[in-house]
Amino acid sequence: AGAGIPAFYTPAAVGTELAEGRETRVFNGREYLLEEALPLDYAFIRAWQADAFGNLRFRRSQRNFNPLMAMAARVTIVEVEEDILPAGAIDPDDVHLPGIFVHRLIKIPPPPEGWWPQRPAEIAKQEAEGAKG
């Protein structure tokens, strides 16, 4: 849906239960299954930086699926880590998602002092060390 393509043909799932009752077509002697795009009403994504035009910069894993989800959705709501910059403050070469795909920007508050997300394994290790001592 994000690319503006409503459906495409793929050889994946041909001959399986997933293909039963679905449209197929043969191209160059190979059978393909019609797969329709999944439209989204809303996308809630997170960005590192944004300007007032809605141009976004992502960091780390934010770049994996956030741009695709924003392009596929009819309405994209973005929570922004840094303060929202003035319009045009992000160099065009550094824009990861143009503002045309963004409908709302929300500045999220900074995390509490000393806060750092921990994985369950790290928490279990800390608890085990605390029990020993």
50, 94: one domain: yes
pLDDT digits (tens, 9 = 90+) for 55-76: 999 998 999 999 999 998 999 9
56, 22: one domain: no
68, 101: one domain: yes
Query: E strands of the chain, at which residues?
Result: 7-10, 24-27, 30-36, 40-47, 49-50, 56-57, 73-80, 104-107
What is the pLDDT of the chain when averaged over all its residues?
89
pTM: predicted TM-score of the whole model, two decimal places: 0.67
**Residue 126: is its pLDDT beyond 80?**
no
Q: Are 50 and 76 in contact (CB under 8 A)?
A: no
Give me the residue label for tokens 């197929």. Answer: 24
Q: How confident is the model at residue 128 (pLDDT cuts 50, 70, 90)?
A: confident
Q: Could you give the number of structural domains in the chain? A: 2
12, 60: one domain: no
12, 63: one domain: no
β-pairing, 40-47 vs 24-27, is unpaired
Q: Sign (positive/negative) of CA torsion 86, 88, 89, 93?
A: positive
Three-state DSSP class for residue 60: helix
Q: Is residue 15 part of a domain?
A: yes
Q: Is residue 132 part of a domain?
A: no
Looking at the chain, the whole-number percentage of residues with pLDDT higher than 90 is 65
Q: Is residue 91 part of a domain?
A: yes
21, 58: one domain: no
pLDDT digits (tens, 9 = 90+) for 26-35: 999 999 999 9
| Domain range enclosing 21 | 7-36
